[in-house]
Amino acid sequence: MSFLNPLYFWGALAAAVPVLLHLIRRERARRIEFPTLMYLRKVSKRTIRYQKLRHLLLLLLRVLAFLFLALAFTRPFREMPQVSAAGGKVTTAHIILLDNSLSMSYGDRWERAKKAAAEIVRRASVGDKFALLEFSDRVFARSQIVTGKDTLLGQIENGVELTEKSTRYSQALRLAEKLALEAGAEKRIIYLISDFQKSGLDADEQDSRLSSSVELKPVDLGSDSFSNLTFGEVKVLDADESNAGSFQIKATVVNYGTEDRKNIRVSLSLHGRVVAEKAVDADRSALRGVEFQIPALTAGAHPVVLEVEDPNLTRDNRFSMILEARGKTPVFSVENPEPKGGRSPSFFLSHALNVSSFSPYRLTAVALEKAESVSTLTGSLVIWNDASGGGPALQKKLQDYVRGGGGLAVVLGKAVTAEDFNRTFGSWVPVQMEDPSLQAKRPGQASHDYALLTDLRMDHPIFKPFSEPHSGDFTGAKFFKYARLKAAQGSEVLARFDNGLPAVVSANIDKGRVVVLAFPADDSGNNDFPVKAVFAPLWQQILRHLGNLREGRRWVEVGETIEPQKILAESALRQGRADFDLNQAIVVMSPDKRRVPAVPGASALTLEKIGLYEIRSPRLSITVAVNPVPKESDLAHANVEEFVAGWLPREASGAPQPAVENERMSLEEQERKQRLWRLLLAAVLVFLVSEGLLGNRLALKRE
Amino acid sequence: MIHAHPALPQPTRFIDPTVLTRISSLELVARTVVEGFVAGLHRSPHLGFSVNFAEYRPYRPGDDIRKIDWKVFGRRERFFVKEYEGETNTSIHLILDCSQSMRYGNRGIPKLEYGQFVAASLAYFAFKQRDSVGFISFDEQVREFVPARGSIGHLNTVLHTIERTSAAQKSNFLKPLVAVSERIRKRGIVALISDLYDEPQRVMDGLRHLALHGNDVIVFQVLDPSELLFDFEESAQFIDMETRAEMHVVPDFLRQEYRKIMKNQVAFFEKECQKDRMDFALLDTSQPLDHALFAYLLRRQQLY
């Protein structure tokens, strides 16, 4: 029990007032002559004793009222019940937050951090509580709240380890605060052992505040002078068609340090062998571009590693990537025989798809009657380019192809009648064509005769690239002749004409996809769409969608989560290996050639290390390149005082020294501890009321 | 038996004892009281007076001219008034307690003074009735003894003696009362004016002695209101006025029981007096004096 205002104990002297009054009045007792004491002496002693007792009780009540009043003013408060065994000292919860992000491997920071943590534990009092949290972009509690120092020292010495991930303070501090508040100690201190990278401060952290009962003590291991080289932006360009399989790599070397660096060696290795080397100069806080040409690679995935020579913070010196060399995807345009003197229906298409080395497609026109003879459609895409209906064999072939995972685009021009379409596709594609096709009488007639494309589904993968402003204008194209389509259930209308009829309809059929376009791919019927700028990109997008093509990412950043099964499946698809079974067992090997234990029930895997991960299945094996988070390489040092002030509770943030020892308690806690004064005042009230009643009764008797 | 209780005529008709203290002459006090009292009474047929000639005296202005003896004027050519010696119907002995305890007077006048007023008033009243009046004061022993007589000059003697009385000693009832009873030759009314502060049994023994000699005894117990109510506020050192013994008293502690004891005591005297055919009247010094006169009158009525 302690007292907020012990000086008020002097007020307890007031309790002597009734006693003094009693004594003084007794001393000054008048002498009264009375005729005889004969009868007074007859009054029984018992009555006198009883009366005396009542008056003593009255005196006691008055004394107690004064005493309790004085006591209430001293504001007594309870100590916390969790008093340590060490002689009633205040128990403290030490929550140690240890930064184990990539930047902590700079110089001897990690060793110093461990020493600082151990020192905190050693200097703590017996009976104090501890928790050790390691954090980077994630927080890992090495232990829950413990009281044994030795356990924690052992963990600091051998348990903690550096990671290669980036720094994020906010969630770590939040968890530490939660642990501190749950520790059941009177004093709570969070030690933040870190290099206080500026890049670790998120914008959202600026508004975060810790509870007022938690103290934040920073242990700063960072410095304002440092040196670090790493790769900034890296771009990989596929070479042109004449040089298929070759790549151009454009990288920037960033000097994050505070001094200029000259003649730095930058190397490129392929499959672990250095194939090119360059020397660059990097001024402080500057970028330096460096380019490498990689000669033609055989089809398949090739691990490429860029490395900059830098003795400081070596873990971010390497930048790996997977370059996948592959051939162009064949696209068959099935069409009616070319009319004499006319243009091929695929005239515009071939220009749109075979445009340059950037296009991953190679269009081949196939006459309708020869289409059946195409040996296999697997690995290729098919455009049914305004061809009239084929025979049953061709229909079955197409259906099997699509159901097996193929992609088919149906272009409806003047040659296709509703009957042809419905016979060929009506049974398995959920789109119907209705007669007659709409045809404007003559070009140049009333303007409302042509249709425009509207109501584009910009969220669909086909149109998504056009969703940004100035990314393609479809409204300029005029359609004078187009098919009247009816989308059935299971299909999706991606674009409509301005009269509401479907213009582009997409449907998934088993593993494959079908896209039906209600307008031709050439300028027949005076359609001017093929000469618009969006024609080629749209077709590239349609084929990309049909081919279910997803660019394999050449690298990912550490800390990202991947789904190994899915990556394997996509890779299999790209390689035309339709027989890949999604459910087969896989093994993931980390860059240090250790098997990554699979988490039961979870398909995702977090990439913890920098380097090349290997995902293996019995029939396929792929490599995933993992690079450090670029911002983690920036060792710029934050202002620690500002940082801590930013985390202080609002009312305390004005304090000049955030680290000042100050036991902060929440208002509720303070009030709870001190509420004894209320009880005391209540007791005073009871005493006074009792005194009043008793006094009144005695006075009444006197009457 | 008469009590000083509110059923009696209201004191407005009578003069407050404290007012009487301002009158220096005891005779005047007695006259004031008695005449006030008599004025309120009907003419009593019992008021006999004597016809026996006593003496002549020269006329003084103010004398009733009817009393002038014209025969003597014829002879002597001077006015003489005829005075008669009263023929006494009865005699009254006033016994006043002049012990120390009678000095007490907390509210109003001291008991002794009140007793003196009562005695004087009774003496005057009795004289008016042509009764012979005697006066005795006592404490441990008889202090003054004026035998009863009916002459005019005797009243002055009695009144002077009453006025002279002062308190000095402790009281003792038995011895003086026995002595008084032996010295009263003619049986008559004996009025004892006292606070009766002695052993009750001893008081009663003394009174019985008076009664046994054929006297009609009236006992006036004179008490101060404070003695009855014990209405002291603060604790105090109480000193016995007779023995000088001391006692620390917290009035609050004793009040209840003291009152009870006093009430019982008064009831005891009343009951005992009744038993022995004595009259008992409790006189509160804050009450007018006429209560005493009533008591006397009633007693006298019973006799004749």
Interface test with B, best of A30, A36, A43 (most B CBs within 10 A): A36
Residues in chain B: 304
The residue-averaged pLDDT of A669-697 equals 85
Give the closest-approach CA distance of A690 to chain B in angstroms: 19
Closest-CA residue of B relative to A33 is B239
Q: Which residue has the tokens 């008695």?
A: B34
Q: How many CB pairs under 8 A join A and B?
A: 93
Is A32 within 8 Å of B245 when comparing Cβ atoms?
no
Residues linked to residue A254 through DSSP beta bridges, in sequence order: A230, A287
A660 pLDDT above the threshold of 50: no
* Residue A87: predicted pLDDT: 47
Is A36 within 8 Å of B242 when comparing Cβ atoms?
yes
Q: Nearest CA to A586 among A622, A554, A548?
A: A622
Looking at beta carbons, which residues of chain A come within 8 Å of B224?
35
ipTM reported for the complex, 2 dp = 0.75
**Minimum-distance CB partner of B227 among A30, A35, A702:** A35
Confidence band of A544 (pLDDT split at 50, 70, 90): confident
A239 pLDDT above the threshold of 70: no
Confidence band of A678 (pLDDT split at 50, 70, 90): confident
Looking at beta carbons, which residues of chain B come within 8 Å of A53?
none
**Minimum-distance CB partner of B240 among A36, A51, A701:** A36
Torsion sign (Cα): A367, A369, A373, A376: positive
Distance, CA of A611 to CA of A320 (rounded, Å): 7
Is A51 within 8 Å of B250 when comparing Cβ atoms?
yes
* Residue A684: predicted pLDDT: 92
* Residue A163: predicted pLDDT: 87
A664 pLDDT above the threshold of 50: no
DSSP 8-state class, residue A183: S
Render pLDDT for A580-592 as a digit per residue (tens, 0 to 9).
Answer: 666 777 888 888 8
Closest-CA residue of A relative to B101 is A35
A655 pLDDT above the threshold of 60: no
Is B101 within 8 Å of A30 when comparing Cβ atoms?
no
Residue A516, Cα to own-chain centre: how many angstroms? 39
* DSSP characters over A278-325: EEEEE-TT-EEEEEEEE----SEEEEEEEEE--SSSGGGSEEEEEEEE
Is A36 within 8 Å of B261 when comparing Cβ atoms?
no
* Residue A436: predicted pLDDT: 62
Give the closest-approach CA distance of A29 to chain B in angstroms: 5
Distance, CA of A527 to CA of A386 (rounded, Å): 14
Is B253 within 8 Å of A40 when comparing Cβ atoms?
no
The residue-averaged pLDDT of A55-76 equals 89
Is A701 within 8 Å of B241 when comparing Cβ atoms?
no
A689 pLDDT above the threshold of 90: yes
* Domain definitions of chain B by residue range: 11-44+88-303, 52-85
pLDDT in tens, chain B (304 residues): 444 343 333 333 445 666 666 665 666 666 666 666 665 554 433 333 445 566 788 888 888 888 888 988 998 888 888 776 545 567 889 999 999 999 998 877 899 998 988 888 888 878 877 778 899 999 888 998 998 887 778 888 888 899 888 888 888 888 888 888 888 877 788 889 999 988 889 899 999 888 888 888 889 999 999 988 888 887 788 889 888 888 888 887 788 889 999 999 999 999 999 888 888 888 888 887 777 777 767 766 665 5
* Residue B97: predicted pLDDT: 92
Looking at beta carbons, which residues of chain B come within 8 Å of A51?
250, 252-254
Interface test with A, best of B169, B235, B243, B248 (most A CBs within 10 A): B235
* Residue B192: predicted pLDDT: 92
Looking at beta carbons, which residues of chain B come within 8 Å of A36?
101, 197, 240-242
Looking at beta carbons, which residues of chain A come within 8 Å of B221?
none
Is A26 within 8 Å of B258 when comparing Cβ atoms?
no
Looking at beta carbons, which residues of chain A come within 8 Å of B227?
35
Looking at beta carbons, which residues of chain A come within 8 Å of B252?
51, 55, 698, 701-702
Give the closest-approach CA distance of B1 to chain A in angstroms: 25
Other beta carbons within 10 Å of B96: 27
Burial class for A290, CB neighbours closer than 10 Å (0-12, 13-18, 19+):
buried
* Residue A670: predicted pLDDT: 66
Render pLDDT for B79-92 as a digit per residue (tens, 0 to 9).
Answer: 888 776 545 567 88
Looking at beta carbons, which residues of chain A come within 8 Å of B249?
40
The residue-averaged pLDDT of A360-389 equals 80
Give the closest-approach CA distance of A667 to chain B in angstroms: 52
**Could you give phi then psi for residue B23, rounded to 5 degrees?**
-90, 120
Distance, CA of B21 to CA of B26 (rounded, Å): 9
Looking at beta carbons, which residues of chain B come within 8 Å of A47?
253-254, 256-257
**Minimum-distance CB partner of A47 among B232, B234, B253:** B253
Chain A contact residues (CB < 8 Å to B): 25-26, 29-44, 47-48, 51-52, 55, 698, 701-702
Render pLDDT for A444-477 as a digit per residue (tens, 0 to 9).
Answer: 454 557 888 888 888 888 998 888 878 888 888 8
The encoded tokens of residue B10 equal 């209201």
Closest-CA residue of A relative to B229 is A703
Q: Nearest CA to A189 among A160, A218, A169?
A: A218
Asked if the peptide bond before residue A436 counts as cis, ω within 30 degrees of 0, the response is: yes
Is A29 within 8 Å of B234 when comparing Cβ atoms?
yes
Distance, CA of A571 to CA of A552 (rounded, Å): 7
Radius of gyration of chain B from Cα atoms? 21
Please, what is the average pLDDT of chain A? 81
Supply the angle between the helices B290-303 and B111-128 in degrees, to the nearest 10: 40
Is the Cβ–Cβ distance between A555 and A379 less than 8 Å?
no
**Minimum-distance CB partner of B234 among A25, A37, A701:** A25
Is B104 within 8 Å of A39 when comparing Cβ atoms?
no
Is A36 within 8 Å of B248 when comparing Cβ atoms?
no
Q: Where are the alpha helices (DSSP H) in A163-232?
A: 169-182
User: Cα dist. B149→A212, A576, B177, B193, B301 in Å?
Assistant: 110, 166, 20, 20, 20
Which range, A323-332, A376-385, A611-620, is most confident?
Answer: A611-620
Distance, CA of B283 to CA of B115 (rounded, Å): 9
* Residue A515: predicted pLDDT: 93
Confidence band of A323 (pLDDT split at 50, 70, 90): confident
Query: Which amino acid would we find at residue A352?
Result: A
Map residue A472 onto helix, strand or coil.
coil
Distance, CA of A216 to CA of A212 (rounded, Å): 10
Q: Nearest CA to B139 among B120, B181, B167?
A: B167
The topology under which CATH files domain B11-44+88-303 is: Rossmann fold (3.40.50)
Is B240 within 8 Å of A43 when comparing Cβ atoms?
no
Confidence band of A507 (pLDDT split at 50, 70, 90): very high
Looking at beta carbons, which residues of chain A come within 8 Å of B240?
34-38
Looking at beta carbons, which residues of chain B come within 8 Å of A32?
232, 236-239
Looking at beta carbons, which residues of chain A come within 8 Å of B247?
37, 40-41
Interface test with B, best of A33, A58, A700 (most B CBs within 10 A): A33
Q: Which residue has the tokens 């584009």?
A: A456
A493 pLDDT above the threshold of 90: yes
Looking at beta carbons, which residues of chain B come within 8 Å of A25?
234-235
Looking at beta carbons, which residues of chain B come within 8 Å of A27?
none
Query: How much is the pTM?
Result: 0.46
Other beta carbons within 10 Å of A169: 23
Other beta carbons within 10 Å of A288: 19
Is A35 within 8 Å of B195 when comparing Cβ atoms?
yes
User: Cα dist. B63→B28, B34, B69, B87, B155 in Å?
Assistant: 19, 21, 12, 21, 19
Give the closest-approach CA distance of B252 to chain A in angstroms: 6
Is the Cβ–Cβ distance between B281 and B221 less than 8 Å?
yes
The CA-based angle B157-B158-B161, given to 5 degrees, is 85
- Name A691's Cβ contacts closer than 8 Å, sequence gap at least 6: A58, A61, A62, A65
Interface test with B, best of A28, A34, A49 (most B CBs within 10 A): A34
Supply the angle between the helices A45-73 and B251-275 in degrees, to the nearest 10: 160
* DSSP characters over A243-258: GTT-EEEEEEEEE-SS
Structural domains of chain A ordered from first start: 2-78+684-702 (no CATH), 92-224+637-658 (3.40.50.410), 229-310 (2.60.40.10), 329-546 (3.40.50.880), 556-627 (2.60.40)
Distance, CA of A132 to CA of A93 (rounded, Å): 11
Is B227 within 8 Å of A25 when comparing Cβ atoms?
no
Is A32 within 8 Å of B255 when comparing Cβ atoms?
no
A691 pLDDT above the threshold of 50: yes
